[in-house]
Structures are given as structure tokens and as C-alpha cells.
Amino acid sequence: MTTSASLNSKNAPAGDSPGTQVLATPTLNVSHRDRAMWLEVGVEQWLTIHRELKATHPRLEWLTATHLMDDTFEITSHLTSPDAHDGVVIRCTTTDGGVASLSELFATARYHESEMQILCGITFNGLSQPHPFALVSDSFPLRRDFALLPRTQRPWPGAVDPDTAARRRPSLPPGVFPEWSQ
């Protein structure tokens, strides 16, 4: 399903600055919340939607990635207008661990993409000269299956139960998932 989104006062919540803009790039979903417009696009439109929005929203506030499973990542970026009054949050989902790099459009994208590349293991196609990070890890720490070893190894004081007669299933400490037990 594709819809064209328009940034005008009819769609924006009350109090937002009126402006009219019709987007040419097809989007999957549009919503408004928190004084920003939230767009969801297919991974093929990632670069074109940013190229189109750069004219009115030239500031890249941040770019981040969330690991969902295997090689599926949800990439999110936040663009703002020059006075930072108007914001757009753009999201896409990639299933093969790769997405186009925005470093040609936004200089600050280089830093965020390098960080996600080294922490999640995503590939940003077109990111030349990634920013060097001092990461000491043999794996990708921001992936869901990366176990926080100190949390699994350190005995959890909350496992104590004063009522010795009650037989309860031993609980896991917060932040430890059963899939991690190796």
C-alpha cells in the first residue's frame, strides 16, 4: 500500500507549524505524534526519501538501528527543519542486513552508521571510510542474541526466598533471557 504524505495543517496535530509539502516517494505508513511526522518506507526508498526531505529538513538529528532477529534490522532516522521546530522520523526494515548509506547526503550520518555497523553488524552500502571505534568484542553487542555475561554469571541476590517451605520456580534476574543459557 502506498500513500503520498502531505505536511499540512490538516494532518498535523494542533500547534504544529503549517507547511505544505507533498512527498513524491511512496511510503508504507504515515502517522503524526510528538510534534513529528513518522514515515515508514521500504528499504529501496531509504535513500530517495531522505534526498527528498533534505530540502526542508536538512538536519540529521540521529540514526539508529534495532535488531529484530537474524539479519532483520529496523533502521530509524530523525530529520529536523533548520529551526528544529518541525521533525520527521523515518523508519525502514531490512531483512538482509544491508541498507543504503546516507553519508553522501548528511555528513553526520557517517558517525551514526559506523557505530551501528560495528555494534550491530549491519552493512551501510556506500559508507566509505567508516569512523574508527575502539570496540573490544568478538561479536556484535547490540544484537538481541548477545548475552550480557556478567548478568548471567553473577549470582542474583533476588533469587533468595525467605519462605523456605514454598517451592517456587527459580526466577531469572531482570534483563536475562532464557535463550541465553549456554
Would you count residue 180 as binding other proteins (CB under 8 A)? no
Identify whether the C-beta of residue 73 lies closer than 8 Å to the C-beta of residue 122.
yes
Provide the minimum distance between the beta carbon of 43 and other proteins in the complex, in angstroms, as a whole number.
Answer: 28
Gap between the Cα atoms of 21 and 176, Å rounded: 46
When the beta carbons of 69 and 135 are compared against other proteins, the nearer one is 135
When the beta carbons of 105 and 111 are compared against other proteins, the nearer one is 111
Show the binding pattern over residues 134-173: x = contacts other proteins (CB under 8 A), - = does not: xxxx---x----x-xxxx--x-xxx-xxxxxx-------x
Strand partners, 78: 62, 89
List the one residue out of 9, 92, 77, 88 whose CA is nearest residue 55: 88
Would you count residue 175 as binding other proteins (CB under 8 A)? yes
CB-based contacts of 1, cutoff 8 Å, min separation 6? 28
Q: Which residues bind other proteins (CB under 8 A)?
A: 134-137, 141, 146, 148-151, 154, 156-158, 160-165, 173-175
